[in-house]
Amino acid sequence: AASLDVLVQRHTVLRTNFYSGWKDEPLQVVYRNKRSELYVEDLRDMEQERQNEYILEYTRKDKQRGFDLAQDALMRVAVLRTGEDAYRFVWSFHHIVMDGWCLSLVTGEVFASYFAILA
């Protein structure tokens, strides 16, 4: 959570929402402080097949949820623990704030912060 918050504080676009209906013009609002959206769940008590089904269903619901540009965090991360040293990440973001090309840069930055915080 702390490493994601570092990312959000470094990049204003991740603290941004977009409102429509202000004088019939879209309005971009950048917050000074906004936390990342992180969900963590431990699935180790499930059998492998059930874990896979659960992750597929979680991912389907996450896609279906979409993003409310006016109020949602426009990037969210879910960490699903599947084993003692195994995790599955569901990293969702709206294309208005970033695209697939920068995902490796963003994840690299998050993990660099994560390991720095651990150290």
The tens digit of pLDDT for each residue in 15-69 reads: 999 998 778 888 999 999 998 999 999 999 999 999 999 999 999 999 999 999 9
> Is pLDDT of 114 > 90?
yes
Alpha-carbon gap, residue 113 to 111, rounded angstroms: 5
Q: Give the domains, in start order, of the chain with CATH numbers.
A: 2-118 (3.30.559.10)
Token pair belonging to 58: 């979680």
Q: Specify the pTM.
A: 0.88
Centre a 10 Å sphere on the Cβ of residue 107 and count the other Cβ atoms it contains: 14
Alpha-carbon gap, residue 103 to 82, rounded angstroms: 23
pLDDT > 90 in the chain, percent? 88
> Is pLDDT of 75 > 80?
yes
- Between 106 and 100, name the one with better pLDDT: 106
